[in-house]
Amino acid sequence: DLTLVQEFEKAQLKEDQLVRTDISNRIHDIVSKIYQRLISDGKFRKDPFENLSEKAELIKTLNIFDDPRIDSIAIDAARLANTDLSAIRKDDSQRSTSANQANDLLAKLEKLRNTPHVECRPDTRPEDQQSQDIVKPKPRLVLNDSVPTEIQTNISRSNVRN
């Protein structure tokens, strides 16, 4: 038997998570496409980076929770959006650095989707949240003529979705 307050808190947690998922979804596809281009020999167009810059600004305004994770995502997205495209076309080291930035941002987005930002005592923590706290990030990328197998697998999966 849930009290009215508990029911309200449960509904609020669900709504909060939906908003955070929406924020994550707004840039996940863009960052994923940028990442795929960075780890392949794909050509770089400025449009995805400009789109990411616009979304980073939007995310700042959507952070009604003052969630530091969302602020961090907005900052990282803006940093990735400001990547010097001519540098990554010429320099594999810069390309690898940018790919790692995109990879790290994707990991943060996944974590935001999977773990609500709840400030409560450990004994009142929602049980279904406990198993979702740890998200395994993808391995760091090194562009020396090969892409780690796990990254290739993730790219294959994401290409099937598109």
pLDDT tens digit sequence for 10-42: 888 888 888 888 888 889 999 999 999 999 876
80 compared with 62, residue with greater pLDDT: 80
- In terms of pTM, does the model score above 0.75? no
Q: Band the pLDDT of 6: cuts 50, 70, 90.
A: confident
Quote the DSSP letter at residue 122.
G
Q: Classify residue 49 by burial, with Cβ atoms within 10 Å: 0-12, 13-18, 19+.
A: middle
Which structure tokens are listed for 29? 């596809």
97-151 pLDDT tens trace = 999 999 999 999 998 887 655 443 333 333 343 333 333 345 555 554 444 444 4
Helix (H) or strand (E) holding 137: none
Tokens 């669900």 sit on residue: 14
Position 126 scores a pLDDT of: 38
Angle CA 9–12–15, to nearest 5:
155
Angle between helices 68-81 and 46-62 (to 10 degrees): 160
